[in-house]
Amino acid sequence: MPRFGTAMLVVSGLAPDLDYASYFGGAGAFMRFHRTVLHSITGSAVMACAVAGAFCILDRSMPPKKKQSQTTAPLAFAAAFAVCAVGAAGHMLLDLASGVGVQLLWPFRAHWTAWNLINDLDLWTLLVLIVGLLLPLLFTLVNEEVGVTKKGPGGSRAAIVTLALLAAYFGARANLHSRAIDLLLSREYHGRIALSAAAFPAPSAPFSWRGIAETDNTMEQVDVPLGPGDEFDSDRSVTLFKPEDSPALAAGERSAAARKFMLYAKVPFARVQPLEAGYRVEVRDLRFADGDDEPANIFVRVDFNSGMQITHQGFFFASSPND
């Protein structure tokens, strides 16, 4: 590790979340900028360059104290950029594993990539990382007990073990996700055949998933338990009937706001509500459970007058009060 190596890893690993500040610009700004600019390959590369350059400047303005007959070379930009790139890549990989995902190819392509393996705050991932921090202490105690002289960098073995545990955990989560999808597609829901399915991890429960099965005229929400001895009962699904085709629904889906939202939503579901002098079309994302107050839970609303002209369209946080 070069000088300031740990600091560069921490800064570059946290810097992508600066786009969370777009929350204060409203739901539309949050949907547009969060996990896009600084979470894309292009944005991450630019950010890594900026952080590396800043630490190179810091290195030259604060040279290390030199011992007699010892010279220290200045921090090289290539080495600093390599460290910052690792920090940014680690952040991106963790966000790819979550249900919200990232726009890897921004600004060239507006496409969200997500593996739907873990929640944004996954307790088991956090536990593995905490164990990784404590392993060097454990190795030191073991070496002292058996009288082995310490060799090599202090945390290298702990880092290898931690990465192996994370890889094994994500591999197991990928297997469970695939099993949940297969199970959802293999069943009928109140006599209806599933045409497609999606599965999202349940908080703090590694063997529980929240499934969405789409039939010809409904969306079925159902818990998918995959633990030992668990049984999946498709008849316990909650049925949401799709809205019938109508001029209001067609106009709502053609609106600019709805088209942008369709790029973001994983499982879009529309509702049409008649108003005193027109219609209201709302499109929500069923990947978020009812009552989920995280900022990423956004929906779009489009209001029309009786002549099917748009009077208002916009994005809203599901957690914010709205009329």
pLDDT digits (tens, 9 = 90+) for 10-47: 999 999 999 999 999 999 999 999 999 999 999 999 99
Mean pLDDT of 104-113: 91
pLDDT value at residue 69: 47
pLDDT at position 302 over 90: yes
pLDDT at position 153 over 60: no
Mean pLDDT of 120-143: 81
Beta strands in 121-246 (DSSP E): 188-189, 192-193, 196-201, 208-214, 218-225, 238-241
Pick the more confident residue, 276 or 205: 276
Mean pLDDT of 224-242: 94
pLDDT value at residue 108: 92
Mean pLDDT of 204-209: 85
pLDDT value at residue 98: 86
- Please state, rounded to an integer, the average pLDDT across all residues of the chain: 90
Per-residue pLDDT band for 161 (boundaries 50, 70, 90) equals: confident
**Domain extent listing, the chain:** 5-96, 123-172, 176-241, 247-317
CA distances from 252 to 187, 317, 323 (A): 32, 19, 18
pLDDT at position 252 over 70: yes
Pick the more confident residue, 65 or 207: 207
Q: How many helices (H) and strands (E) does the chain have?
A: 8, 10
pLDDT value at residue 218: 97
pLDDT at position 321 over 80: no
The model's pTM is: 0.86
Mean pLDDT of 67-74: 62
* pLDDT tens sequence across 116-127: 999 888 888 999
The tokens for 265 are 């939503």
Q: Rg (Cα) of the chain, in Å, rounded?
A: 25
For 267, other C-beta atoms within 10 Å of its C-beta total 17
pLDDT at position 155 over 80: no
Mean pLDDT of 61-86: 81
Residue with tokens 């890893």: 9
Residue with tokens 């890549």: 89
pLDDT value at residue 136: 78
Residue with tokens 């001895």: 229
Spatial distance between the Cα atoms of 269 and 65, rounded to a whole number of angstroms: 62
pLDDT value at residue 151: 56
DSSP designation for 118: B
